[in-house]
Amino acid sequence: MKVFLCRLLAFSSVLFLGVALTAAKTDAPTPSYLGSKSCASCHATITKAWKDSHHAWAWKKPHGQSVLGNFADKVFKHKGGVSRFTKSGNKFFVETDGADGRSQKFEVVGTVGVDPLQQYLVETKPGRVQALDLAWDTQKLMWYDLYPDQNLPHTSGLHWTGPYKNWNARCAVCHATGFEKHYAPLTRRYSSRQAEIGVGCEACHGPGGAHVAWARNQKTFDPTAWKAVNAHGFTISFDRKNAETEIQQCASCHSRREAFGDASPIPGTPFHDSYRLALLRDGLYHPGGQIRDEVYVYGSFLQSKMYQRGVRCTDCHEPHTATLRAKGNAVCTQCHNTSGSPDFPSLKKADYDTPLHHFHKSGSDGAQCKSCHMIERTYMGIDGRRDHSFRVPRPDLSVALGTPNACTDCHKDKSAGWAAGQVAKRFPNSSNRGMHFAETFASARQGRGGTKTANGLLDIALAGTNAGIVRATALDLLRRYATAEIAERAERLLREPDPIVRAAAVALQRAAPPDIRIQRVVPLLQDRRRAVRIAAARAILYLLGSRRLSKLDRAGQSAVEEYQRSLAAKADFPEMQLAIAGTALVFRNLPVAERAFQEATVMDPQLVQAWIMIARLRAARGDVQGAVKALLDGVAANPKDENLTKALQDFGGLKRAK
């Protein structure tokens, strides 16, 4: 581990080459990507449907047909500055504030999206592509600012030229087919590439090389000549009897998650071998699980009864046009009707598209299924997204907790108490009342309740009837209350079928005594899912650092290496530099930790805690002057931060004392 950290922070090219070679080693080749054009000759109808889809428009090269914004010497004033959009020949340009704060002219190198907005990509340095904060409203036909309430200086990491708006690192993998990031930490440069820009056929069906070989000669095709392909040469099998494969493939992009690698997983790779899913955390979701920040569907859908009953994405969405299968309530009533659905025999047969159920005039906005069961939130200024947890409105929880509900989303002049009364009156015998995990989650988020809240969280986690993401979130919240006794009571969750629950249960075992933690966690270093193996590796790092765990078998070493590679894959993330620094501190490698904190401040000068940690590490080795300098640099970048000011005063006093 020490060697790895040293190499990582020294930006050793040998390390990264070794990782790539390890990942690529196999007995049979992976099929090659051929591009969507290679599919069109046999699949003309599907290709035609796909060409106008949001997937096809996810990323395009700029040309007369793909650029929807007004670049006819259009001026846009915002935040005291002026941006200009122009065209010269077949090229498009944006003149706006650059990374140094001065106005600069950038050539547009890509378009993103088609409706209700289109963004534009520019190259600020060779290979480094950034997404502009100025976008084109394709409905109102006007330029607008994605973040009108923010006025960020060019030194901020959140400025459009900063690391959080970097296309290579943050966005491209879900807007391309077969994407590879290729970040070089030594030079801080990208040499990204992809098989195809836009979400093409192979982004969902897998690289087509083997399938084309099958199509050319089915009699001689040998699937064993390729790595993990089926009888038709695909790396993924969409089986009508297995919804999970399809859902996880869609979730690879339609989710809020942390990637373990720096490239697109081959379609068919299980989600939990490629990503760590974001749980129902404060800031992302409300205590009741309703969407708050932009979380991209999967985390919501996992909470739904529809997911638990085997409903899949393509039951509602046509996969090639990426549109709904029907208009209005018809998309819901294809199953929710008086005849039911043969695919879901447990579904209650009833007429839902009637005022007797929705209590609104037929055809009105209030009569739409989505209005009550899929609340909408707007992101990127104008882009409405629906909550896919398909929940029953609970305005009574809004009264108690301030959580949102569908009723007052529309009836903005009414109170949550009014809405709760209306629901109770119209559905007097509803089973959708009583205790809800929202109450316990809200208490835990505020650090209230003590033993009562801790027991409530544990009950939620142990209840197999709850959605896996809800149970995992309960375990995550339980960590602040964790004791050895709680870790023992939760021990059986380490063997749960759901990898989200297993991974969260691993983290809770940090409250167990070291020897018992080793006994419980080490077996999960061989778990069948990478997300769990990495969680186990993280849980034992402290024991490795303290030498309570002297050595690991080959499987254990492999899991720790997977964790190492997951850090290396995101070396261009400021937040990951903090994680690298924290890992170095565990192993008491102070020089490596300091260098990681420094790299974090280079990427994002607003990371106040990194400046303070640099000062502390320098002071620990007797370099008080260097500590003061770090704090002065931090104050220069964050002049209003009280923590830095106080730390500077403390270190300044120490310097004078010396």
Q: Specify the pLDDT at position 329.
A: 97
Structure tokens at 415: 């109170």
Q: What is the per-residue DSSP string for 405-435?
A: -HHHHH-TTS-HHHHHHHHHHH-TT-SS-S-
What is residue 12's predicted lDDT score, i.e. its pLDDT?
Answer: 29
% of the chain residues with pLDDT over 90: 88
Give residue 544's pLDDT: 80
Determine contact, residues 409/375, Cβ cutoff 8 Å.
yes
Q: Are 241 and 64 spatial neighbours (Cβ–Cβ below 8 Å)? A: no
Amino acid 518: pLDDT: 92
Q: Is residue 605 predicted with pLDDT exceeding 70?
A: yes
Beta bridge partners of 263: 180
Q: Would the pLDDT of 17 be above 50?
A: no
Name residue 103's beta-bridge partners: 97
Non-local (6+) Cβ contacts of 608 within 8 A are 634, 638, 641, 643, 644
Instruction: Kindly report, residue by residue over 436-474, the tens digit of the pLDDT.
Output: 999 999 999 999 999 999 999 999 999 999 999 999 999
Rounded alpha-carbon distances, angstroms, from residue 51 to 118, 202, 383, 553: 17, 14, 22, 51
Tell me which residue has tokens 């093409």: 200
SS3 category, 348: coil
In this prediction, residue 263 carries a pLDDT of: 97
CA–CA separation, 393 vs 404, rounded Å?
9
Structure tokens at 449: 């309740």
Between 606 and 657, the higher pLDDT residue: 606
What confidence tier does 653 reach under pLDDT thresholds 50, 70, 90? low
Residue 654 has a pLDDT of: 52
Which residues 6+ apart lie within 8 Å of 185 measured at CB?
8, 11, 16, 571, 572
- pLDDT (tens digit, 9 = 90+) per residue, 151-201? 888 999 999 999 999 999 999 999 999 999 999 999 999 999 999 999 999
Whether pLDDT at 2 is above 70: no
pTM for the model? 0.93
Q: Are the C-beta atoms of residues 623 and 614 closer than 8 Å to each other?
A: no
3-state secondary structure 516-562: HHHHHHHHHHHCCCHHHHHHHHHHHHHHHHCCCCCCCCHHHHHHHHH
Model confidence over 523-561: pLDDT tens digits? 999 999 999 999 999 998 888 877 777 778 888 889 999
Confidence of residue 10 (pLDDT cuts 50, 70, 90): very low
485/83 Cα distance (integer angstroms): 60
Could you give the CA distance from residue 375 to residue 361 in angstroms, rounded to a whole number? 19
Residue 14: band (very low, low, confident or very high) from pLDDT cuts 50, 70, 90: very low
Q: Is 577 helix (H, G, I), strand (E, B) or coil?
A: helix
Q: Identify which of 113, 241, 102, 234 has the alpha carbon closest to the alpha carbon of residue 167.
A: 113
Residue 311 one-letter amino acid: V
CATH of domain 574-657: 1.25.40.10
pLDDT tens-digit profile of 365-413? 999 999 999 999 999 999 999 999 999 999 999 999 999 999 999 999 9
Give the integer Cα–Cα distance in Å for 216 and 459. Answer: 57
pLDDT score recorded for residue 592: 94
Domain ranges of the chain: 60-174, 278-392, 437-568, 574-657
User: Is the pLDDT at 657 greater than 80, yes or no?
Assistant: no
Residue 3 has pLDDT above 70, yes or no: no
* Cα dist from 347 to 305, 310, 343, whole Å: 11, 11, 9
Q: Residue 7 above 70 pLDDT?
A: no
Q: In this predicted structure, what is the pLDDT of residue 157?
A: 93
Residue 16 pLDDT greater than 60, yes or no: no
pLDDT of 93 > 50? The answer is: yes
Tokens coding 639: 């002049």
Question: What angle (nearest 5°) sits at the alpha carbon of residue 324, between those of residues 320 and 325?
Answer: 85
- Whether a cis peptide bond, with omega within 30° of 0, leads into 116 is yes
Would you say residue 9 has pLDDT above 50? no
